[in-house]
């Protein structure tokens, strides 16, 4: 099929299914991906579930519909597989807020500290890390360490602040943030709550402390989804990237989900523009041409694999 011809999603679905069979490929998607991608994915999950699933799959090709660091994590865990990300320009402002050389200096300035990094980092930063965590397991892993262990945590200051607050730790934090989660407006969310008093507030820990404090539940995307599925409220204000609403509405069709607004009414600030770079058409082309492929140099991959595997062991 000529890529310029096909605007028919049905035809694209068929072609993707055929290529997947022929090439023994697996399509994985983060909850923040466009609905059209979540619809065709073999596996949808949060960062933790994607890393776990990548480590388990026997597919020859993984098409990681997410952002670059998710493709890198899959490649580090599966060096013999081909890992494709439909658009490698899909970066992450949080990962970008942690320059590897500056992080190296931060680590060197704290020689007696355990280095814990959020999965939203480059492979080079992971290679400088003792344990990688995601928002789905960070609290549990950190609380499993001795109470007096000195820890540096990067790059998300809001997630780090959340863990310090709920676990009574005093981790030294890197000053990074995600441009989507850091911008949600407390004022607008309070207005929404006044208009929808029956709605519970679900907040991702990458959001700032005032939002965490008004939340009925703070958690990773998968934890928020799980809460909505098992809780009894009829409505929820969802304070994270709005892509998660697709799966929430699918899992709980009888409930109302309201996407929280960010601080700027002019933009779709509750959407991650990096995540939305991937399209169905790009998934098709990636599968067809087996590019763009994620490559991580073996020395970096070797060093980065250990803290990711440690995370997987600690979150069994
Ligand atoms: P989780 O998938 O761990 O909820 O993280 C959200 C995120 O921002 C991913 O980039
Ligand atoms: Fe990165 Fe934020 Fe986008 Fe997640 S939502 S991929 S943390 S920029």
Condensed to tens digits (0 to 9), the pLDDT of residues 62-109 reads 999 999 999 999 999 999 999 999 999 999 999 999 999 999 999 999
Helix (H) or strand (E) holding 60: none
pLDDT at 242 exceeding the cut of 50? yes
pLDDT, residue 3, reads 46
* Ligand minimally distant from the alpha carbon of residue 48: 1
**Lowest mean per-residue pLDDT among 183-187, 213-217, 278-282:** 183-187
Say how many Å lie between the CA of residue 47 and the centre of ligand 1: 5
Query: What confidence tens digit (pLDDT) does each residue in 116-158 have?
Result: 999 999 999 999 999 999 999 999 999 999 999 999 999 999 9
Say how many Å lie between the CA of residue 221 and the centre of ligand 1: 6
Per-residue confidence band for 269, with pLDDT thresholds at 50, 70 and 90: low
With b for 16 or more beta-carbon neighbours within 10 A and e for fewer, the 262-271 pattern comes to beeeeeebbb
Distances in whole angstroms, Cα of residue 27 to Cα of each of 7, 136, 149, 189: 20, 21, 39, 35
> Is residue 29 classed as helix, strand or coil in its secondary structure?
strand
**CA 228/CA 132 separation, integer angstroms:** 27
Say how many Å lie between the CA of residue 66 and the centre of ligand 2: 10
pLDDT at 176 exceeding the cut of 50? yes
Ligand 1 pocket, Cβ-based, cut-off 6 angstroms: 46-47, 120, 134-136, 178, 206, 220-221
pLDDT at 226 exceeding the cut of 60? yes
Max distance between CA atoms of the chain, in angstroms, equals 62
pLDDT, residue 185, reads 85
Say how many Å lie between the CA of residue 122 and the centre of ligand 1: 15
Residue to mutate, 220, 223, 225, 315, ligand 1, most ligand atoms under 8 Å from C-beta: 220
Give the nearest ligand 1 atom to 66 CA: 10
Give the nearest ligand 1 atom to 180 CA: 8
pLDDT at 304 exceeding the cut of 60? yes
Give the nearest ligand 1 atom to 275 CA: 10
Say how many Å lie between the CA of residue 176 and the centre of ligand 2: 12
* 125 vs 267, residue with greater confidence: 125
Q: By C-alpha distance, which of 5, 192, 167 is closest to 153?
A: 167
**CA 316/CA 300 separation, integer angstroms:** 25
pLDDT, residue 314, reads 93
Q: Whose CA is nearest to atom 3 of ligand 2?
A: 272
Q: Whose CA is nearest to atom 6 of ligand 2?
A: 92
**CA 260/CA 262 separation, integer angstroms:** 7
Beta carbon of 119 within 6 Å of any ligand 2 atom: no
pLDDT, residue 268, reads 58
Say how many Å lie between the CA of residue 112 and the centre of ligand 2: 30
Share above pLDDT 90 across residues of the chain, in percent, rounded to a whole number: 92
| 3-state SS string for 215-272 | CCEECCHHHHHHHHHHCCCCEEEEECCCCHHHHHHHHCCCCEEEECCECCCCCCCCCC
Whether residue 72 contacts residue 301, with contact meaning beta carbons closer than 8 Å, is answered with no
**CA 62/CA 48 separation, integer angstroms:** 16
> Is residue 92 classed as helix, strand or coil in its secondary structure?
coil
Please state the pTM of the whole predicted model: 0.94
Q: And the tokens for 241?
A: 């990237």
Say how many Å lie between the CA of residue 205 and the centre of ligand 1: 9
Q: What is the mean pLDDT of the chain?
A: 95
The DSSP-derived string for 179-209 is TTGGGB-HHHHHHHHHH-TTEEEEE-TTS-H
Q: By C-alpha distance, which of 231, 228, 220 is closest to 258?
A: 228
């Amino acid at each position: 099929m000529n890529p310029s011809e096909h605007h028919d999603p049905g035809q694209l679905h068929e072609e993707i299914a055929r290529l997947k069979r022929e090439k023994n490929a697996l399509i994985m998607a983060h909850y923040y991906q466009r609905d059209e991608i979540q619809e065709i994915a073999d596996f949808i999950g949060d960062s933790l579930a994607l890393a776990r699933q990548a480590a388990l799959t026997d597919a020859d090709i993984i098409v990681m519909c997410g952002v670059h660091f998710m493709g890198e994590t899959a490649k580090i865990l599966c060096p013999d597989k081909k890992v494709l990300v439909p658009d490698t320009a899909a970066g992450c402002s949080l990962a970008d807020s942690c320059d590897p050389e500056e992080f190296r200096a931060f680590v060197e300035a704290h020689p007696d500290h355990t280095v814990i990094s959020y999965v939203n980092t480059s492979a080079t930063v992971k290679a400088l890390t003792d344990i990688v965590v995601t928002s789905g397991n960070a609290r549990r892993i950190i609380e499993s360490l001795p109470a007096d262990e000195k820890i540096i945590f990067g790059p998300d200051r809001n997630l780090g602040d959340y863990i310090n607050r709920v676990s009574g730790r005093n981790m030294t934090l890197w000053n990074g943030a995600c441009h989507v989660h850091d911008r949600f407006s407390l004022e607008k969310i309070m207005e929404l709550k006044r208009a929808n008093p029956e709605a519970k507030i679900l907040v991702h820990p990458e959001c700032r402390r005032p939002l965490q404090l008004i939340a009925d539940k703070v958690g990773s995307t998968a934890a928020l989804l799980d809460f909505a599925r098992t809780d009894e409220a009829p409505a929820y204000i969802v304070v994270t990237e709005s892509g998660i609403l697709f799966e929430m509405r699918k899992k709980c069709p009888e409930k109302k989900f309201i996407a929280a607004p960010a601080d700027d009414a002019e933009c779709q600030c509750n959407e991650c523009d990096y995540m939305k770079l991937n399209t169905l058409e790009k998934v098709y082309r990636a599968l067809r041409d087996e590019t763009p492929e994620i490559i991580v140099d073996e020395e970096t991959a070797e060093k980065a694999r250990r803290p990711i595997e440690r995370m997987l062991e600690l979150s069994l």
